[in-house]
């Protein structure tokens, strides 16, 4: 089914009461199709046992509205309109957002869903979000729909970074050596298309960068879906001169610069 979106923004001047209206037609990305059609690293499968009881689809992901599509993000710069452009770059972080419920906290970047006017339609869904004069202040150049979880704290915020993410699966890797566990723990980037994971490990006076083969969309004859059979493809250690660890800060806490 082909989806189409219509957006109307009403900006009200609190001093004069004048209302400025902006209306646009939205393009739809592949985000929902990817969630329903792809299974990276077998995330919807249990590594052992017959069924995976950790993925709660109904009420969390389904119905699509207001769950997989249940939030809004407002950006300070324009977005590239491409179907596969699902995650925006870090230099263009949302200035405002809202989820499928009322913001009862102190996060001034987050608005609230108007639960009276938001409703199912015969051929779709209508969302109405509201922001008070103290919420979501900043320049708005683009608007995008997101999931209900994405609308709670966008890409993460001091108000509640954990609520941005939905736990789909837990994997116990306690039986592999600690060094290999730490390589996974210190992962910084995952290339889904090339089945590559990059990890950065800090030493006392060095940094080790490791490139790892990990099954994402294809799996080798001797690989598993529990991260225990990853293969190190390349490793490079650099001697550090521009930073050091100071005081009580650990390798996994703060890094302080030194000229």
Residue 171 lies in a domain: no
- Using one digit for the tens of pLDDT, what is the confidence trace for 74-98? 999 999 999 999 989 889 999 999 9
Same domain, 114 and 241: no
Q: How high is the pLDDT of residue 192?
A: 87
**Do 25 and 149 reside in the same domain of the chain?**
yes
pLDDT at 253 over 50: no
Taking the whole predicted model, whether its pTM rises above 0.85 is answered as no
CA count, 13 A, side-chain hemisphere, 147: 21
| CB-based burial label for 219 (10 Å; 0-12, 13-18, 19+) | middle
pLDDT digits (tens, 9 = 90+) for 110-132: 999 999 999 999 989 999 999 99
Tens-digit pLDDT profile for residues 2-22: 778 899 999 999 899 999 999
| Confidence grade of residue 47 (pLDDT, cut at 50, 70, 90) | low
pLDDT at 3: 78
Single out the residue in 111, 142, 164 at which a domain terminates. 164
Q: Do 208 and 82 share a domain, yes or no?
A: no
Q: Which residues contact 133 (CB under 8 A, 6 or more apart)?
A: 14
pLDDT digits 0-9 by tens, 191-216: 988 999 999 988 778 889 999 998 88
**In a shared domain, residues 155 and 186:** no
Asked whether the predicted pLDDT for residue 49 surpasses 90, the reply is: no
**pLDDT tens profile 130-186:** 999 999 999 999 999 999 989 998 887 777 666 667 777 777 777 788 888 888 888
User: Range of 182's domain?
Assistant: 178-257
My answer on whether omega of the bond before 255 falls inside 30° of 0, hence cis, is no
Question: How far is 210 from 197, CA to CA, in rounded Å?
Answer: 8
The tokens describing 37, both together, are 């059609």
Q: What is the pLDDT of residue 181?
A: 85
Same structural domain, 160 and 184: no
pLDDT computed for residue 164 by the predictor? 64
**Could you tell me the two tokens for 210?**
């490791």
157 shares a domain with 182: no
Tell me the two tokens of residue 85.
Answer: 């452009």
Residue 170 covered by a domain: no
Count the domains in the chain.
2
Q: How many residues are recorded in the chain?
A: 259
């Amino acid at each position: 089914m082909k989806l189409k979106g219509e957006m109307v923004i009403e900006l009200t001047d609190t001093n004069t009461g004048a209302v400025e209206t902006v209306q646009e037609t939205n393009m739809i990305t592949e985000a929902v199709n990817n969630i329903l059609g792809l299974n990276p690293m077998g995330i919807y499968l249990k590594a052992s046992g017959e069924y995976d009881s950790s993925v709660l689809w109904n009420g969390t992901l389904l119905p699509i509205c207001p769950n997989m599509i249940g939030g809004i993000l407002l950006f300070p710069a324009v977005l590239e309109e491409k179907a596969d452009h699902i995650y925006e770059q870090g230099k263009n972080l949302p200035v405002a957002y809202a989820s499928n419920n009322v913001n009862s906290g102190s996060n001034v970047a987050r608005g609230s869903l108007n639960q009276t006017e938001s409703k199912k339609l015969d051929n779709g869904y209508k969302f109405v979000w509201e922001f008070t004069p103290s919420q979501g202040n900043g320049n708005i150049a683009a608007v995008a729909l997101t999931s209900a979880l994405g609308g709670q704290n966008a890409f993460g915020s001091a108000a509640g970074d954990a609520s941005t993410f939905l736990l789909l699966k837990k994997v116990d890797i306690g039986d592999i050596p600690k060094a290999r566990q730490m390589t996974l723990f210190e992962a910084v980037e995952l290339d889904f298309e090339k089945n590559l994971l990059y990890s950065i490990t800090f030493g006392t006076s060095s940094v080790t960068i490791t490139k790892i083969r990990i099954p994402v969309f294809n799996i080798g004859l001797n690989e598993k879906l529990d991260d225990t059979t990853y293969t190190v493809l390349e490793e490079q250690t650099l001697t550090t001169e521009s930073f050091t660890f100071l005081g009580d800060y650990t390798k996994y806490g703060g890094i302080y610069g030194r000229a």
